[in-house]
Structure formats: C-alpha cells, structure tokens
Structure 1
Amino acid sequence: MYSQQQQISQLSPGTHLRRYIIQNKIGEGGYGAVYKARDSRKPGKYVAIKQINLANLSTQEMIEATDTYNREVSMLSQLQHPGLPHIYETFSDATHWYVVQDYIGGKTLEALLKKRGRLSLEQTLDIGLKLCEILDYLHQQKPPIIYRDLKPSNIIMKGKDELYLVDFGIARHYRKYQRKDTEPLGSPGYAAPEQYGKAQSTPRTDVYGLGATLQELFTGREPLEIKMHGLPAGYEIPVAFKTLLEQMLQSDPAQRPKIYKVKQELQKLKQILHSSKPATKHPAPRAHRRSRNSGADFLLWTYAGIVFTLIPAILTGRFPLLYLLVALSVSLAAGLLTYFIQRARYASTTQLMNVYRKPGRGQYLLEACVIGSLPLLLTHLGYDALNKALDKDLQLLIIWCGLSCFAWLLYKIVARKARKVVSR
C-alpha cells in the first residue's frame, strides 16, 4: 500500500524526466512503479523506466530497496541475451532511483492466463524451451546467476515467438561454499523449499520455479491451489509431462534434473506431440487435372489458325477483308472450342493426341498440320458460302461488325495484360 507521499510522487503522462517523456504507468510493485516513456533524442524509441521510491521507508526497507536496486542493475548491465531486457542508464534524485531499460510491448503470462484460462500443451512446451535457454544462459555465468523468482508475472511474451524474463530484484550469484541464502526470498508456491532458509539456492532452484510455472500454464491453476486441492476433474496431464513436472518439483534439490536435462525432455515431448498429430492429408491427384495453360492453348489455336489461313491467301492473292474476317472468326472459334474442351474434360487437348510419352518434333509438326488444316478448310467453305449468299452491302456490314468485335477483344486483352504488369 503506497503512502500519500508515494502516491503524489507518481509520474503523470507528459512528465519530462531528463531526456524521457512519460507516456503511462505499465506496472507497480515492491518499492515503486514502472513507466513507459519516449526517448526525445531518438524518434520512435520507447523505454521502460523503473522508479524506486525511497520516501517514508523504514531503515530495513531502505536496506532491502537498496539491495534490490543494486542487484538488478549490476546483473542486467553485464548480461547480453535476447530474452533479457537491456539497461541503458541509471540516475536518481533526492527520494528516487531510476533504471532505464528496454520497453517490451507484450503481455505477461499471468495476463495471458487470465484471458485464456490455460495454454495448450504445445504452447507450454514452447515456452518451457525458451525459458530453459534463458536460464541456461544465466547458470553458465561465472559465478552462476540464480534467478529465484520464476513465475508467470515475471515472464513477458511479445508476439508469438519472443519471450522475456524480467525483474531481477531477488536474483543472486551462487557461492559454492555458502550454506544458505542470506535471507528467505521468493514467491509462495513458485519458490523452492531451500529459498526459505533451509539451504543455499542453486541452479536447480530455478528448475523448481520452472516446473511450477509450466504446471500453471498447462492447468490454469496456481501451484498452491494444486498443492492444497489437487487438479479439478477433467484436468489430465500427459504421463510423460506429468513425470517430468514431478521430478522438477522435488523438495530435495539433488533429485531435480539439471536445466539442460529439462530442455532435452521438453524437446522429446514436443517431438512425440508432433509425431502423434495426424498428417495433413493432401487431395489425391486427379487423373485429369485442369491444364494451367488452357488460356495459352486458346491463344495458340487462334494464332495457328490465323497463320495457316493466311498462308494460302497470300500465295493465291485471295486476300479480301471478308476472307480475313472469316479466317479470324474460324480461328477464334477453334481457340474457344479448345478452351472449353479443356475445362470440361480437365485435360489438354494435346494430351489426347500424344501417342508417345515423349513426343518428338515430328509429332508436334504433325499436330500443327492437323490443327491448322481445320481452320483452313472451314475458312474456304465459309468464305465461298458467304460470298455467294450475301450482297456487297451486307458483306461490308458484317466486315464492319466483325472488325469492331475483334478490336474490342484486342483492347480487353491488352488492358488485362497492362493491369497484371502494374500489379507486379
């Protein structure tokens, strides 16, 4: 509970604190609060400022606050890990200490549990593996750093992949020949028994806190609640995962696995989980799938028909507009016919003509002659019929309408191609 002076000293939005402009308060606890602030010297840069209020503290509280401040600053200043916040600077005034560090715009796992109730096994394992990497990094320091306060409220998740461990207020260095910790510190339910003055906290102390945290993430129940009342009906933990949690929550530190062993077991559980999932069923390939080149074949038929119909016209000198119009119409009709056949039968028409699995050039030439002969024949027949049946004025009208239609079709094709080029 904050005193009146402590409440007055809280920073309001817009307050200038050196180069930083306070945006809003994002948390509080212990001896102060945490604020989100904007760095005025770096546009778009936000930081988190932890304010420790020394006003009206007793002598013992002053000692504890000083110890907490010095411990967090000294440890985090020397650590470089993507899962840990970076400290930029520290400063103070008459009644406050300030720590400026990375602003992590995510949510604590405690807030995530309040929203979702519990996490899936896969999410729990993923979080466990990331925490193992951070804890292993801390334990590899010389001397090893014991975090001692692992719980959902001290873990921030940003997006789907980023995980951060924050608040090093009670972290300590492991001393090989020390009998026990200087004073009992920790959060009930998450703190290992040795944190209450029975023995010195070791790297396996964090294994206990990790086990309690993973158990809460998967069940949605706090450790003390589970210890007192057990799991509610319907909460079943997979046997292999339950066995690992029981090992991690052993009262005797010597009976708990080391952090690298925990990581190995979590990886095994994740592999088992993935292997037990049904494989994604892909639709069986159809005997005849729709050709992706149906539009290209349509143009191929059309242009091939035009070429084959114009060759005899050029050679014989018969090149009136009506003949050209009939040639274009027949070729276009052949192309449309090809396209609709493909859509209806889900196969390329060239496949129907392929006798050999790998046709050679001779076969392709034969197909081209067959494809071109049909428009050629129809063009001559159609031209002769129209030339005899229609007078000149009607022929000119048909020519005008036909050329207009082809001009419109050409415009649509060019416009469509232009849109595709612009969209790229």
Structure 2
Amino acid sequence: MNEILADCFNDTLLKSDYEKQCKFIKWQYHNKYYGKQFSILGDSISTLAGYNPKGYKVFFDESNCEKASIHDMNDTWWGKVIEFFGGELLVNNSWSGSCVTGSNATLFPSGCSDERTSCLHINSVKPDVIIIYLGFNDWANGVVLDGTHFLEESLDLSYFVCAYNKMLEKVTSNYPNAEIWCCTLNTTYMSTNQRFKFPYMHGGIHIEEYNREIKQAANNYNCKIADLYKYNTPYDTIDSSHPNADGMNTLASLVIKEMSTEKANDFTSFLDAVESKTLTDSDEDDDFKNVDVGTILDGKYEILKLVGQSATSKVFLAKLLSLNKLVAVKTLNVFYKNNEQVRQALINEANILRQLEFPAIPNVLEIVEKNDNAFIVTDYIEGETLDTIVEEWGAQSVEKVIDWAIQLCDILEYLHSQEPPIIYRDVKPANFMLQPNGIIKVLDFGIARTYKSSKAADTNCLGTSGYAPPEQYGSAQTDRRSDIYSLGMTMYNICFGIAPKGLDFKVADQAQTAVEKDLLTVIKKCTQLNPNDRYQSCMELKNELDYLKKKGHLKKKFGLFKR
C-alpha cells in the first residue's frame, strides 16, 4: 500500500490525487510519529536480510525475497508503516520461527527472553515506538494458553499467556517511555493455491482465543492494541504463512489503520482503493504489463534486475539481445499501467530527454507504447548514486562536494538555457550517478517541466520534501532559482551527512574548518526562503564555487569516498 507514498511528493499522479498527496505531506510532518525511532519485535514475517541483528535467523533472504517480490525495506509491512508516518527504523529484533514461549532454562530466541526484550535500542538511543507482532508460531504449534499459570508466583514460560505477559513486563520495564503496540494475529490466503483454506484452529485452540489473550496482556501493561484480526482481511502469502509483496501491503494497511488518527484514515482509504486495484490487475499474464526479472520485453529486451523504483515507475537493468548491450528500461508500476495521465507523463519525460544533447544526460534509445503501458529505453549508466555514497561512506570532503556541485551547475545551467527553460524540480543526491571516471550523470527526469511565463504556480505540487523549496508547494511557479535551492540542500547533505527532512528544514551550522564555513555560506544563500535572496543563476553559483576552489587550493580527488 505505502508504495504510493514512498515518493508521494515525487511523481505525477492523477490530478484528483495530487491534492491529497500534498495534504498527506503536511499531515505527515505534523503527525506525532514523524521523525520518531521505531523498533520491531517479531518473527519470520518481520525479518529481512541485512536488517536484523547479526547471527539472527532470517526468512526473507535473497531466495525468499525473490519468491515474494520483496526487494528492500520499503516492500515490507514494517518498512511501509514507518515510512507512512515519517519515522525511522532503530532496531528490527525479529527471528525467523521464534515463538513468544520457551523453556525457562533456555529462553533465547523466544520473544520473552532477555536478549530479545532488552535489545530494541542502539547505545543511548531508545525507541519511541515499539511494534510487536509475535505469537503466530505459538498458535501454529498448538502451544497451550493456560492462563491460570499467569497467577502463580513462578511463571511457566512454556504457556502462551505467561510468556506474552512476561514479554510485555520486560519490554515496558526496559523502555518505559516507548509507545508499545501489540498486533493481533491475522489470517492468510494463497492466491497461487485456491485450495488452501486457513485453519482457524491448531491443537484445538482457535486463533481468536490467542488474540483475546494478546489484547488482555496489552491491557495489563497499558500497551496499545493493533487489532488486525477484526478487519477480516487475510494477507496473501507464498506458503500459507509468509506474505508476498501484496500480503505486506495488506499488513501495512491494517497496522496503519490501527495506529492512525481520523485524519490519517483519509489517506489510508485513498491508498486502499489503489491497493485493491493492484491485486486485481496483478492476475494478468501479459509480460509487457507485468515486467519483472526474466521478462523479455517486446521480444528484444531481457530484464536482468531491478535497479530503482518510485511510486509510479520501476527502472530495470536490461540487455538488448541483438547487440548484447546493457540498457536501462523504465516502465510503469502495476498501480498505474492503465492510468493514461501517468503513462503520458512517462512519455513526456522521454520526449524531453530526446530534445537534449548534453554529455551528462542519457540518450533515449527507444520509446514503446503497448497495452495501455509504456516503457522507455535509455543508456545504462554505471556507478553509484550520490545518496548511496553518503549512506555508505558518510559525509564527503569539501573538495569533492565542490567538484560535484560544479558539475551539477553545468547540467542545470544547460537545462535552464533551453527555450523555454526546463526546470528540473527534483535535484537531490538520489537522482545523480557518479561514474567510475568521476563524471556525474542525471538519472531521472520524471517531474521536470518547462517554465511558463504566464503561469502563477506549477500545475502539480511535486518534488521531494526537504529538498524542494517553499514555492514548489504551490505558492508560486518554480523557476531556475528553485533548482538552486535544491542544489544547496544537496550540497548540505553530501558535505555534512545530514538529510534535509520536512517542509521547514533549516540549514544548521555544522562547519568545523574554514573551507567548510565558506561552503556553508554558499549553501545558506542557495537555500534562502525568498527566491530573490538566492543566487539568480547556476552560472553565478558556479563562479562562486570556482572561487572557493581556487581560494582553498582544492584539487580533484577520486578513489575512496571517505574524508
């Protein structure tokens, strides 16, 4: 479900939808979970390779992720929930196959063990929100409830009621300031096996009995309840218990509904409608409409792997079979394959690219329209995106930031010099690829537009929150100075390792050296709220950066990205 919101301020949608997206962004920024630290305590359906503690048993490894069409955190139920509220993942303490119960002698990796209940923080950073989805394996293994033992002085943690209460006792004691959500167990189905019927009872115990005890335990320790079961909405699975991508959407939708305020429900209703359409559309067999790894598009492009995605589109590495040449293929997500406006936006992007001749802009090799869908084929660009460099290597040296910013100035100045000027509107580290030779290339033109002197404001309120200037939210038409604002935020992110977030993010003084202070002065001028107070052209900004380069005797440095 939350794929729509993964870049909700970053792609062209139906005109009737974009207003809701703008409202969502404003709501998200002010909701109580925005910027909060989330920790997850769960079993196999909450695991994901690379996101759980080292040595933990993980179900969603590379093989099972491929089966379930899960590519990264944004495809998981917990990732979608965290992103919806604008929070951040702190710890995902999930162990595949784990129960809440266990032997009193050797509890780990049981959910009530000290190792699980006390490891939901990192150093001094404690979680603001803890979501617990545990108990399914206990129920599936027919673990006895036996609530009478809960009243005994010495608890037998092989009983579910005892173990679940003990788990909450430990979690609430370890994290007294956290808001703790306990999820009830949900039912499942298999779209690939219509004969599968969900077994409501295991070991003579109905799943509703387990859910009753989960809710009672939550009440005992003043925890909140995310009652997923009450919606009577099973999630789709690959094997009767582990969700596929659609199942993750369903789980995320239900959790969000339980955690949301009444205002947020306006957005979940909007997303549910899109999700239900996706489930219906995904039954089609047409390879063109359901592009995935292994697909042969139009009889000549073999899809090799997914390399990027947003709300409305996916980008694949592909091979042109006739020439054995690597190319990039951008096509619509299943959400939007019948959406004429979004399809046309993809075509418009390709048409803009076709008009441009600049070394940093990829060539369009082909545009194909078929079966209400479309895809564009461009040069494949090898390298690392600037955001990946910051994520993996941290803040970069001033000389690198200035060198890269000068290249971005050249790119933007070229776009702004067109007649009419092309405003990029989405300058951010993720949209630029640094090649092994040190040259930067543009990756995405999804929301670029031509400047219209007669317009008071942009038709669509689009951009990336934190990088987009105030006027991009609808107060005025974007122009070249809007791109300069975003470039300033991009420099700030790369130089200081701080990603701008929210509608009113302000550049803070992080400079330690003289040259950093000089660059920060430039960044602050780029990011002034009033466009008239910014640099008025990319050439003016480039001249300032060239001056800093000469003043500081900075030289180009390549190789490792660390300082």
* TM-score range relative to shorter protein: 0.5 to 0.7
Q: Match for 1:46: what amino acid?
A: L
CA distance 1:7–1:186, shift in 2 (3 Å): farther
Aligned partner letter, 1:66: R
Residues 1:96 and 2:377 are matched in the alignment: no
1:155 aligned onto 2:436: no
For 1:199-238, list aligned pairs within 5 A: 199-224=476-501, 227=505, 230=508, 238=516
Using the TM superposition, give the Cα deviation of residue 68 of structure 1 relative to its aligned residue in structure 2, in angstroms.
2.3
1:244 and 2:522 aligned: yes
Shift of 1:63: 5.1
Asked if structure 1 preserves the Cα contact closer than 8 Å seen for 2:511 and 2:520, the reply is: no
Amino acid paired to 1:193: P
| Pairing 1:259–2:533 present | no
| Cα distance in 1, alignment partners of residues 506 and 409 from structure 2 | 28
Q: Against the structure 1 CA distance between its residues 7 and 249, is the aligned structure 2 distance closer, same or farther, given a 3 Å change threshold?
A: farther
8 A contact 1:54–1:95 mirrored in 2: no
1:31 to 312, 318, 322: 312
Deviations 1:291-313 (A, max 9, x none): xxxxxxxxxxxxxxxxxxxxxxx
Q: Distance in 2 between matches of 1:275 and 1:88?
A: 38
Alignment of 1:41-120 (within 5 A): 41-43=322-324, 45-53=325-333, 62=339, 64-120=341-397
SS in 2 for 1:270: helix
Corresponding residue pairs, total: 273
Tell me the amino acid that sits aligned with residue 149 of structure 1.
D
Decide whether aligned partners of structure 1 residues 157 and 272 sit closer, same or farther in structure 2, where only a CA change above 3 A counts: same
Give yes or no for contact 1:106–1:158 (8 Å, CA) kept in 2.
yes
Instruction: Determine helix, strand or coil for the equivalent of 1:223.
Output: coil
Return 161-170 or 137-146, whichever deviates more.
161-170
Aligned partner of 1:20 in structure 2 is 301
Query: Whose relative contact order is higher, 1 or 2, with alpha carbons under 8 Å and at least 6 apart?
Result: 2
Q: Which runs of structure 2 are paired with 1:392-407 in the superposition (5 Å)? A: none
In 1, Cα distance between the equivalents of 2:366 and 2:397?
39
Residue aligned with 1:194, SS: helix
Contact 2:396 2:495 in 1 (8 A): yes
**Which amino acid is the alignment partner of residue 259 of structure 1?**
C
Q: Is the 8 A contact 2:367 2:376 kept in 1?
A: yes
Deviation at 1:24, TM superposition (A): 1.3
In structure 2, distance between residues paired with 1:273 and 1:97? 49
Q: CA shift at 1:238, angstroms? A: 2.5
Q: Quote the RMSD (CA, aligned, Å).
A: 2.7
Q: C-alpha separation between the residues in 1 aligned to 2:548 and 2:510? A: 24
How many angstroms apart in 2 are the aligned matches of 1:181 and 1:82?
A: 28
Amino acid at match of 1:122: E
Helix, strand or coil at the partner of 1:164: strand
Q: Which moved more, 1:237-246 or 1:165-174?
A: 237-246
Inter-partner Cα distance in structure 1 for 2:392 and 2:329: 26
Q: What residue in structure 2 maps to residue 179 of structure 1?
A: 456
C-alpha contact 2:336 2:342 (8 A) present in aligned 1 = no
Deviation at residue 93 of structure 1 after TM alignment:
2.6
**Judging changes above 3 Å, is the alpha-carbon distance between structure 1 residues 57 and 229 closer, same or farther for their aligned structure 2 residues?**
same
Q: Quick check: 2:312–2:335 contact (8 Å CA) kept in 1?
A: no
Distance 1:163 1:179, change over 3 A: same
Determine the C-alpha separation between the residues in 1 that align with 2:336 and 2:487.
Answer: 36
> Could you report, residue by residue, the CA deviation over 1:341-363 in whole angstroms, capped at 9, with x for unpaired residues?
xxxxxxxxxxxxxxxxxxxxxxx
Given that 1:145 and 1:172 are in contact with CA atoms closer than 8 Å, whether structure 2 keeps it comes out as: yes
Instruction: Confirm whether residue 11 of structure 1 aligns to residue 292 of structure 2.
Output: yes
Quote the Cα distance in structure 2 between the aligned partners of 1:203 and 1:180: 14
Contact 1:22/1:36 (8 A) holds in 2? yes
Question: Using a 3 Å threshold, how does the CA distance of structure 1 residues 246 and 6 change in structure 2: closer, same or farther?
Answer: farther
Distance in 1, matches of 2:331 and 2:541, equals 36
**Preserved contact between residue 6 and residue 55 of structure 1 (Cα < 8 Å):** no
> By how many angstroms is 1:17 displaced?
3.6
What are the ranges of 5 or more consecutive residues in structure 1 without an aligned counterpart?
278-424
Q: Render the CA deviation track for 1:138-185: whole Å, top value 9, x for unaligned.
A: 001000000000001111111142211121111000111211111211
Q: Secondary structure at 2:328's aligned position in 1?
A: strand
Give 1 or 2 for the bigger CA radius of gyration: 1
Question: Cα offset for 1:240?
Answer: 1.9
Are the counterparts in 2 of residues 37 and 48 from structure 1 also a CA contact under 8 Å? yes
Q: CA deviation at 1:255?
A: 1.2
Task: State the secondary structure of the residue aligned to 1:127.
Answer: helix
Q: What's the CA shift for 1:23?
A: 1.4
Distance in 1, matches of 2:389 and 2:362, equals: 20
Aligned to 1:371: none
Amino acid at match of 1:196: Y
SS of equivalent residue, structure 2 residue 463: coil
Amino acid at match of 1:37: A
- 1:138 aligned to 2:418? no
Secondary structure at the residue paired with 1:274?
Answer: coil
Q: Cα–Cα, structure 1 residues 137 and 7, in superposed 2: closer, same or farther, change >3 Å?
A: farther
Distance 1:56 1:138 in 2: 28
Gaps of 5+ in 2: 4-245, 247-277, 285-289, 557-563
Residue identity in the other structure for 1:89? E
With over 3 angstroms needed to count, the CA separation of the structure-2 counterparts of 1:33 and 1:153, relative to structure 1, is: same
User: Identity over the aligned pairs, expressed in percent?
Assistant: 32
Cα gap change, 1:7 to 1:219, in 2 (>3 Å): farther
Task: Give the Cα separation in 1 of the matches to 2:542 and 2:511.
Answer: 29
Larger helix fraction of residues: 1
3-state SS of paired residue (2:505) = helix
Q: CA deviation at 1:13?
A: 2.7
Contact 2:336 2:343 in 1 (8 A): no
Task: Indicate the SS of the match to 2:399.
Answer: helix
